[in-house]
Amino acid sequence: MIKAKRKDKEKIIQILTKAFEQNPRVNNLVKQDSKRLHRIDRLMRYAYNVCSVFGKVLVSDDGKACALIQYPDRKQFSLKGIYWKMELLLGTVGFRSALKVLAREAFVSKHHERYSYYIWFMGVDSDYVNMGIGTDFMDELIADADRRKRPIYLETHLQQNLDWFVKFGFEVFREIKLDSPLYFLRRKSFHYFLK
């Protein structure tokens, strides 16, 4: 696993856009019209930009898997961040959904520890799904979080994803009902268990 380089950006956006094309949470956020895929692409660009500044963007050694990691303790006010958010709200979700998106983002954020390792988006190239690449990549993400002594946080709407994350030691610590259930998961750092 390596930190993504600028040249990797388009491939990462492509992987994540395809991986989340049918995701109910993403489709609930983006405006459903003929430009839906373009809007998902813009959402992934926003997340990529935020994580490249307030976290990190990681890619598997073979370039077939990627993750956008956010460190909540590093997030701070910036004009660039405001610009990205306005671009997201107006160009991706639409003005009517903007307040809903902001409220949801604030709600999700308050359920993470300040010094955590938040996996915002993770995906595998659609040509290589169900080949163990995601499993190997998740093992590397867990090892990275453990080295940093940070618990991992993430959310999922999908039951099959929930079952997969539980196999890695994640626990559901909160579930809410939106259009579908949203599961909040965490995995404590290995160092937490040594205390």
Which CATH number does the domain housing residue 60 bear?
A: 3.40.630.30
Task: Tell me whether residue 186 is in a domain.
Answer: no
Largest CA distance in the chain: 53
Task: Tell me whether residue 175 is in a domain.
Answer: no
Q: 160-180: per-residue pLDDT in tens?
A: 889 999 999 999 999 988 667
Spatial CA neighbour of 145 closest among 176, 161, 122: 122
Task: Tell me whether residue 53 is in a domain.
Answer: yes
Spatial CA neighbour of 120 closest among 99, 135, 105: 105
Number of domains observed in the structure of the chain:
1
* Top-confidence residue, 148 or 158: 148
Task: Tell me whether residue 181 is in a domain.
Answer: no
Amino acid 138: pLDDT: 97
What range defines the domain where residue 38 resides? 2-155
Task: Tell me whether residue 184 is in a domain.
Answer: no
Spatial CA neighbour of 188 closest among 127, 117, 135: 117
C-alpha distances in Å from residue 61, one per residue of 2, 11, 103, 133, 174: 6, 13, 36, 11, 33
Task: Tell me whether residue 171 is in a domain.
Answer: no
Task: Tell me whether residue 178 is in a domain.
Answer: no
Q: 48-97: per-residue pLDDT in tens?
A: 999 999 999 999 999 999 999 999 888 777 788 788 877 777 777 776 66
pTM of the model: 0.87
Task: Tell me whether residue 149 is in a domain.
Answer: yes
